[in-house]
Amino acid sequence: MKRKFFAPLLVVLLLLACSPQEQNPFYTEWDTPFGIPPFSEIKEEHYMPAMREGIIQHQAEIEAIANSTEHSTFENTVLAMEYSGELLDKVTEVFFSLNSAITNEQMQTIAKEAAPMLSEHSDNIILNDNLFKRIKAIHETRLSLALTPEQDKLLDEYYKRFVRNGADLNAEDKEKLRAINKELSVITLQFGENILKETNNFEMVLEDEKDLAGLPDFVVSGAAEAAAAKGYEGKWLFTLHKPSWIPFLQYSERRDLREKIYTAWFMLGDNDNEFDNKEIIKKIVALRLDRSNLLGYKTYAHFALEESMAKVPENVYDLLAQIWTPALNKAKEERALFQAVIDRDGGGFKLESWDWWYYAEKLKKEKYDLDDEVLKPYFQLENVLDACFMVCNKLWGITFNEIKDAPVYHEDVRVFEVKEEDGAHIGIFFCDYFPRASKRGGAWMGTFRKQSRTIDGEMVAPLVYNVGNFSKPTGDMPSLLTFDEVRTLFHEMGHGLHGLLSNGSYPALTGTAVVTDFVELPSQIMENWATDPAVLKLYAKHYKTGEPIPDELIAKIKKADKFNQGFFATEYLAASLLDMDYHTIDKHFALDVRKFENDKLGNAGLIPEIKSRYRSTYFRHIFTSGYASGYYSYIWAEVLDADAFQAFRENGIFDRQTAQLFRENILAKGGSEDPMKLYVQFRGSIPSIQPLLERRGLN
């Protein structure tokens, strides 16, 4: 959908549109269903020319706005900026989405070339004195402008974006800021590439069936197929992709092999080799501190949290402290239980971090007669996805209808049209759930196009995607999920709904464009439906027999719900503390990454049998994504979601009125209003931490 531009810009744009690379698909209107990118037509050689052209066009628009002789108004300055940069948005949304999901060396080279170029372009806008003067003039008179609340929020966000990114700095400091931004844009990319490459480099190939002792059939068959795909016929391959290494730790009776694969995982990026990330971390931490100091902040955390719900680092530490002590105490109880099992079985060794998963699974099996081998047959991927769609339909009446011939960037991707109850089009949903060497680990949501409205009010429907790394089908066995993966799928669907059900005007404020410690609420509340007994009965069916999950198995799931929660809470909180500790550094020193991590987590009391969920050298959330000083957001969102889901428990988990309140105040609003105000409008009161502690069994 083309955006509408102001008349003074049209001549410029028409001249710039005449590019010699007429075959570049980014230069044309996409004649595809719903404006989906024509992935098969887009080649690597198209990205860089389109980015350069996009920057030229965007810069011309910005200069026209900044140098206008007209009196500054919301329409000719803020709104004009919001609707500028169409081509650049178009190409970068596709490129960076695919660089995470289906990368290669050429894509990574383009990313390295593009990062400083885009950083410089962003700085050219933010540090444009004339442009900032116009925005500042409008902001100073905002109370007299009769703007709508959404327009007022957009104006305020633009003003703060400029101020918080150096618009008020002197010329010398602006140049320093440019250099910092440019270097950060490159080294953060390198951090992620190192993790991906080292992950793909590790292979544990087993040749003797005795080495498979304890492993369930689904793990063995998956390893055999992975080995065959790599040319290791008759052998079994285990990798550092989660569907491979986690079940190996849970079930393998070979303690030495558990140690081998676990050590490979927790030493990612920390092996003093070409993929080592320690020096990069030192640079990132130092540059972020320099940048924050330039902008007038004591630490990076003070800068990052200023616009969050937490506001200051002290509030984050206080939140984490409220949960850390009960979580750690619970983890110590669990450690004693597992050591007792080792001693009972005549193990003759002390519990180590690579043993925890195995003995947790073993004790859960003994105590509750429950493990993933029992549960996975009931969680076929297709059924779990259908259950997600069913929950959405029951809550909001929306439907997901698969489009078989839609353009896709990989054969594993499925595409769905999302519609309202009355059949009105909402948007397009892509799901890409299987691991591959070209995809980074984890699970995430993103967009190829955000929901918004054109300048004349026409709806622009979103193109939203979910990406995961679940076990692929093998032979005659379908993709079967662990219970944790079921939660992950529902979690990412929550993010997807935040993008799909957005109902705003301006891309800067729609969908997931909210503060970091609010963005996880829609995702984490969805996990409640995944595990609710009434919902389980509707979708958890044995992949062979079609029989629904038995009541006694649901009862076991419920009883085991709080099992090993000390471990899960502690490993997560350790990572959150590590994030905050890096970003509350307030002066330069000779940072030794290993020592810093060990000292900080040791001082916090982390027991050696538990490692931080993410060690520094592969902590992608804080060193390549937008969660620096924000990893705590997941536990804060869990406070919100535990409290919010109480409303559904009180009124019925599929109560349409409660669901509509959640849609109108949380999903639809994006970042257009203060998040606590939106939460109170939905819930009627501020959130309490007590439901979270009760749910995790930590009270």
Backbone phi, psi, residue 428, to 5°:
-120, 140
DSSP letter assigned to residue 409: S
Strand partners, 541: 548
DSSP SS3 for 399: strand
DSSP character for 319?
A: H
Burial tier of 655 (Cβ tally within 10 Å: 0-12, 13-18, 19+): middle
CA separation (Å) from 395 to 499, 515, 653?
Answer: 16, 25, 8
d(CA 357, CA 353): 8
As a whole number of angstroms, the distance between CA 597 and CA 277 comes to 14
Alpha-carbon torsion 47, 49, 52, 57, what sign? negative
What is the tally of helices (H) and strands (E) in the chain? Answer: 29, 9
Which one is catalytic: 61, 373, 485, 492? 492
Strand bridging mode 414-419 / 399-402: antiparallel
Instruction: State the helix-helix crossing angle for 255-266 and 353-368, rounded to 10 degrees.
Output: 120
User: What is the identity of the amino acid at 392?
Assistant: C
Number of other residues whose CB lies within 10 A of the CB of residue 421:
10
Closest to 134 in 3D by CA, of 59, 73, 218: 73
Alpha carbons 425 and 434: distance in angstroms, whole number? 28
The continuous run of DSSP H or E covering 386 comes out as helix 381-396
Beta carbons of 523 and 495 less than 8 angstroms apart:
yes
Where does 136-239 show beta strands of DSSP type E? 204-206, 236-238
Q: Which residues of 100-133 are buried (b: 16+ CB within 10 A; e: fewer)?
A: bbbbeeebbebbeebbbebbebebbbbbbeebbe
Q: Tell me whether residue 638 is one of the annotated catalytic residues.
A: no
Q: Which helix (H) or strand (E) holds 103?
A: none
**Contact, 574 vs 609, CB < 8 A?**
no
Cβ atoms of 448 and 486 within 8 Å: the answer is no
Contact residues for 664 (Cβ-Cβ < 8 A; gap 6+): none
Torsion on CA atoms 296, 300, 302, 308, rounded to nearest 10: 120
**Rounded distance, CA 162 to CA 179, Å?**
17
Q: Which of 221, 227, 222 is nearest to 204 (CA)?
A: 227
Q: How far apart are the first and last CA of the chain?
A: 52
Which residues are annotated as catalytic?
A: 492
